[in-house]
Amino acid sequence: GENVEQHPSTLSVQEGDSAVIKCTYSDSASNYFPWYKQELGKRPQLIIDIRSNVGEKKDQRIAVTLNKTAKHFSLHITETQPEDSAVYFCAAPWGGMDTGRRALTFGSGTRLQVQP
């Protein structure tokens, strides 16, 4: 299946600093790259996604960048706050060109801790 690698596995930052999480993928047919946030004991929820026709997308303090040539994409969180503390997962679709046969494959997750 699709190989999605995510780094770092843990990240600790001071409140107000920026946090960056990076992912690489192997399937060149992938064209959709979402990021999910999972708080302790809760379900993952989508926070931002990007498609291959753009290189960057922003939503307030969150941004995602994509480099299709290098097959990597990154999540950027600026002005971090304690409520940003959670596990973040990147994902990419696996299964070839047919979107009707694809499924999301997730990275191993990054535990972000924002210290007050």
CB nearer another protein, residue 73 or residue 94:
94
In the complex, what is the shortest distance from the CB of residue 114 to another protein, in angstroms, rounded to a whole number?
A: 19
How does strand 110-115 pair with strand 45-51? unpaired
Q: For residues 16 and 96, which CB has a smaller minimum distance to another protein in the complex? A: 96
Q: Which is nearer to another protein, 61 or 101 (CB)?
A: 101
By the criterion CB under 8 A, which residues form the site for another protein? 1, 6, 31-32, 34, 36, 42-46, 49, 51, 89, 93-95, 99-109, 111
Q: Nearest Cα to 35, choosing from 7, 2, 74?
A: 74
Taking alpha carbons only, the member of 64, 78, 89, 62 closest to residue 15 is 78
**Separation of first and last alpha carbons in the chain:** 40
Considering the complex, what minimum distance in angstroms separates the CB of residue 16 from another protein?
27
